[in-house]
Amino acid sequence: MKNEKAAEIFRSFLKRGKYRITPERFEVLDAALDHNGHFGADDLFIQLKNLKSKVSRATVYNTLELLAHCDLLSKRNFGDNLNRFESNFKRQTHDHLICIECGKIVEFTDPRIRDIPKEISEKFGFEMSSYSFNIFARCKNQKECKNRN
């Protein structure tokens, strides 16, 4: 197992929830945490199949949901009705800028944004656990936008 600390967190989560602890789930965990950037369940399934894995599509889908529930992954939707995932493990909190024409995703951090979700939560009597901030826009440089001619 490549990600021992993450495996400990996941194993504890599975035990608490009375989920089966299987080698396939930990294979999905390693592949998901090693993946750069955002990915869909089918992307990860294909990647595992290309590595001659025996993990089923259902196991990939179910395990990704469990990994999101135990906060090792974030589940994202960038306005295209596709669920994508990204690792939370040892990653800095960041936000997203998404081109509505070509789908390009740029990750960014800005200290002005970081404290706003907590302040708003407190103002309305909530205790913040996480937040997601996405900006939907169009690429300014038309030549770089994949869907434009």
Distances (CA, A) of 119 to 94, 123, 141: 17, 6, 35
> d(Cα 20, Cα 66) in Å, to the nearest integer?
11
- Residues 4-87, CATH architecture: Orthogonal Bundle (1.10)
Residues 6+ apart with CB under 8 A from 141: none
Report d(CA 86, CA 32) in Å as an integer.
8
Q: CA torsion, points 49, 26, 82, 116, in degrees to nearest 10? A: -150
Give the model's confidence band at 26: pLDDT under 50 very low, under 70 low, under 90 confident, else very high. Answer: very high
pLDDT digits (tens, 9 = 90+) for 87-105: 876 666 678 787 878 877 7
Q: Where are the domains positioned within the chain?
A: 4-87, 95-137
Q: Quick one: what percent of the chain has pLDDT higher than 70?
A: 87
What 3-state class would DSSP assign to 8?
A: helix
Q: What pLDDT sits at residue 55?
A: 93
Name the pairing type of β-strands 73-77 and 83-87: antiparallel
pLDDT digits (tens, 9 = 90+) for 5-15: 888 989 999 99
Residue range 8-29: average pLDDT? 93
Query: pTM for this structure?
Result: 0.66
Average pLDDT over residues 19-46: 90
CATH of 95-137, one of 3.30.1490.190, 3.20.20.450, 3.40.50.300, 3.40.50.2020: 3.30.1490.190
Q: Residue 45 class from Cβ within 10 Å (0-12 exposed, 13-18 middle, 19+ buried)?
A: buried
Residue 84 is predicted with a pLDDT of 83
Tell me what the pLDDT averaged over the chain comes to.
83
